[in-house]
Amino acid sequence: MFTLPVYNSQGKEVDTIKLDAKIFDGSLNTDSLHQAIAGYRANQRKCLASTKTRGEVSGGGKKPWKQKGTGRARVGSNRSPLWRHGGVVFGPHPRDFSYTVPQKIKVLALKTSLNLKLKDDSFLILDDFKIEAPKTKQAIGVLTNLKLFFPKDKKEKKVLFLADKLDGQLKKALKNISFLTVDLASDCHAYEVMNSQKLLITKAGLLNLTQRLK
């Protein structure tokens, strides 16, 4: 059983919490993680690439020249793929790449991603994200106190913040932070966990996430 410290907005340790052994057991199921991430990325594809065949290109109704007697090759339309402004052969068309990933695989993938963050010491628990006003500067101050942001560091680390709830004030303060991804703990998935370098979760959010996975 893992025991992690709980920090406040000033970056001070105020409590400790024992993680649920059924979820945070250190086990890794990389096959499920791969399937879940591949499925998520496939479902995000817009698939808008499109070309026109010779039948879809405007024009080309008239035969350019007669069939015989000219000495040139026979041709029925100036929209042939061999001609300039003609159609495209075997070009891309809009299609759907999405498919359904079983729920059990999604759960195993999320458990694996959380265990990986725990193994890498990239799992931080916050008592509560407290700010006095909806100011980005105050939100940056909290992240600096937690050593998730260093003003002089040119390369910012990607941080995922999972909360139990998001009010309007907190949304305004966090929305302009480029390196921060914000989501509800009840809605998070394996891809966004793996796409971040640090995971920050509130104490109440951790409880919601644990109940969801159990």
Domains of the chain: 3-47+100-213 (3.40.1370.10)
**Residue 81 neighbours by CB under 8 Å, 6+ apart:** 54, 87, 88, 89
Is there a contact between 137 and 131 (Cβ–Cβ < 8 Å)? no
pLDDT of the residue at 156? 82
Mean pLDDT by 10 residues, the chain (214 residues): 91 93 92 97 94 94 94 95 95 95 96 95 93 92 92 83 92 92 94 96 94 90
Using CA atoms, how far residue 210 sits from 26, 102, 187, 213, in Å, is 15, 20, 12, 5
pTM for this predicted structure: 0.84
What burial class does residue 200 get, using C-beta atoms within 10 Å of its C-beta: 0-12 exposed, 13-18 middle, 19+ buried?
A: buried
